[in-house]
Structure 1
Amino acid sequence: MSQRIHLNPNVPRQQAPMGSGLGGGYTPDPISRSAPSPHVGSDNELLGQVQKWSSKAEDVIEAYTQPIRPYVPAMARFLIVVTFLEDALRIITQWGDQLWYLQKHRHFVWGFSHIFLLVNVLAMLAGSFGVISKRYPDYSVYCLLGVVVAQGLGYGLLFDLSFFLRNLSVIGGLLMVLSDSLQNKKKLFAGLPSLSETDRRKYFQLAGRILLIFLFIGFIFQGNWSFARVVVSIVGLGACIMVAVGFKAKWSASFLVALLSIFNVFINNWWSVHAAHPQRDFLKYDFFQTLSIVGGLLLLVNIGPGGISVDEKKKVY
């Protein structure tokens, strides 16, 4: 922004020397020039340092992830649907227990409980393989979204806070798959641009980014507090906000991938619990759901935050 120059009418104008570059010969009033505040300089220096270190972190991430970059989309897709594959296997191996629970506690009539479980298993298997193989990804995602809603209603878990927040994050991962499929369609039909698909992709990425962070929000408000938990919660919440608004989204999503992976191994270690212990199934369920959310974050790292994000706006301005 240019500096404003004020003329003092009480001070006679002086002729500028030849070659000075001041046309018409006037002398700016030195009193009217405001000195820069020392706080502004220090703030700019701090912002510059933050940008410098964030750029270095992004360069390091780019360098170390370059060899595995071609495999990230396939790995992310598999992780997103791994919770559905595990759930389908659980229903098949615990068929009798699942029927007993639905009929005894959810009051499903005989026959309808069988159909409910069978449809869920088939939908989860078909939708999962559709997402992994990229065949009919739209229908596959809609199928898995229907499973999330159906199980929430069927098992009466819609008002369970942990289930609700976790499944919001799983839905966020599925929306990232939808966004990625729209990007591939755009590449396939590059000569026929579609504004509606471009807009849908941006909104899917925005909704997916926001929903992905709900798992970590649930982690913050649950469990016993300790100093380490407070530190992890504050740092993780900051990264979640960056993901939601799309500021340094790839860097912050990569950080959350590492954080959630470590948390998942040490907290949801279902393999260390005896097979007959009832807690084993809950830990196993949480473990694979967290893997699905990690897959959604990996897909975000691969395709970026989308058009409705701070990172994208910075490219424009």
Structure 2
Amino acid sequence: MSSRISISRPPGVSYSPDPHGIGNSRSPSGYRAADPDNPVEKLQYYAKQIEDYVEIYSQPLRPHLPAIGRFLIIVTFLEDSLRIITQWSDQLWYLHKHRYFPRGISHIFLILNVITMLVGSGAVVTKRHTEYAVAGLFAVVIIQGFGYGLIFDMTFFLRNLSVIGGLFMVFSDSMVSRKKLFAGIPSISENDRRKYFLLAGRVLLIFLFLGFIFQGTWNFGRAVLSLFGLVACGMVAVGFKAKWSAVFLVLTLSVFNVAVNNWWSIHSAHPARDFLKYDFFQTLSIVGGLILLVNMGPGGLSVDEKKKSF
């Protein structure tokens, strides 16, 4: 049997829903606090709302973002290693017939590429000797561009600039980790270096989207997406609302990657399959760099950081 207990309030004592003053008495920021006739304040309100939603819904994933970003950045190197191994004779034939590599040199070229990509990728994921791993993978990007004769191909050039930007983000992330390990030791010069690497990484990451704009046929949907993408790229480059812009680019590139670079739908014997597969994993790597940007922020050389000083 249940009983209902009522507690009467003494006369003259008013009821307070927050007797200890724990609640926040300040008026909430938002559209009601803004001038409804001012379009700038409206835009600031909606931008703030989007940032709040990004912060709220990214909280469960936030501890895992560095690992996800690092893994996505190195998947293009893992895929490239596997492709060289499984297509060894085709790779040698191309280097001999089209790039005029001597036979011994072509073997050494492929072996060094595979070893560097596998070892460097493993080091990036495990966070061991990250600086050397990033340097090795950076060298692979440059050497392959010259070795395969693609350095002057605009699409290849822009994509690989973005991959290099992702590697810079990994290097910046390793500086953050190292700073946490040695929190009591001042490292002014390292903080300065990290700011410049973050700036370079932000700027280079956006070149993939620029390559997307320059290639393909145009229609209304593509024009609208390109316009928003260009705005987001500019915001990432200057570090203004960089996290929101990076999230937008992550979502846009992910949808575009699955819809356009769907290599799994192409027959294994079709020559377009390898090209789509290469583009798919390179785009994943750049998405990984943007995820690291979402996690770390734009760094000291950015509009967002300067605004904190005022």
Q: TM-score, normalised by structure 1?
A: 0.86
1:261 matched to 2:257? The reply is no
Structure ID, larger Rg = 1
Distance of 2:36 and 2:59 partners within structure 1: 34
Distance of 1:44 and 1:245 partners within structure 2: 28
Which residue does the alignment assign to 1:16?
A: none
CA offset digits 1:103-151 (Å, max 9, x no partner):
1110000111000000000000000010000000000000000000110
Distance of 1:75 and 1:235 partners within structure 2: 26
Distance of 2:221 and 2:44 partners within structure 1: 27
**Mapping of 1:191-206 within 5 angstroms?**
191-206=184-199
**Mapping of 1:195-234 within 5 angstroms?**
195-234=188-227
Distance of 1:184 and 1:70 partners within structure 2: 13
C-alpha displacement of 1:50: 1.0
| More moved, 230-239 vs 56-65 | 56-65
Distance of 1:183 and 1:71 partners within structure 2: 15
Could you tell me which amino acid in structure 2 is paired with residue 80 of structure 1? I
Which residue does the alignment assign to 1:156?
A: 149
C-alpha displacement of 1:44: 8.4
RMSD between superposed Cα atoms in Å: 1.3
Which residue does the alignment assign to 1:33?
A: none
- How many residues get paired? 277
Among 123, 133, 140, which residue is 1:140 paired with?
A: 133
| More moved, 58-67 vs 233-242 | 58-67
Distance of 2:283 and 2:204 partners within structure 1: 13
Which residue does the alignment assign to 2:9?
A: none
Q: Which runs of 5 or more structure 2 residues have no equivalent in the other structure?
A: 1-33
**Mapping of 1:1-317 within 5 angstroms?**
45-317=38-310
C-alpha displacement of 1:43: 11
Distance of 2:268 and 2:44 partners within structure 1: 49
Distance of 1:287 and 1:183 partners within structure 2: 29
CA offset digits 1:224-251 (Å, max 9, x no partner):
0100110000001000000000000000
Could you tell me which amino acid in structure 1 is paired with residue 52 of structure 2? D
Q: Which runs of 5 or more structure 1 residues have no equivalent in the other structure?
A: 1-40
Distance of 1:315 and 1:182 partners within structure 2: 22
Which residue does the alignment assign to 2:15?
A: none
Which residue does the alignment assign to 2:20?
A: none
Distance of 2:86 and 2:203 partners within structure 1: 35
Which residue does the alignment assign to 2:4?
A: none
After TM superposition, what 4+ stretches of structure 1 lie above 6 angstroms from structure 2?
41-44
C-alpha displacement of 1:194: 1.4
Identity of aligned residues (%): 67
Q: TM-score, normalised by structure 2?
A: 0.88
Could you tell me which amino acid in structure 2 is paired with residue 154 of structure 1? G
Distance of 2:36 and 2:123 partners within structure 1: 50
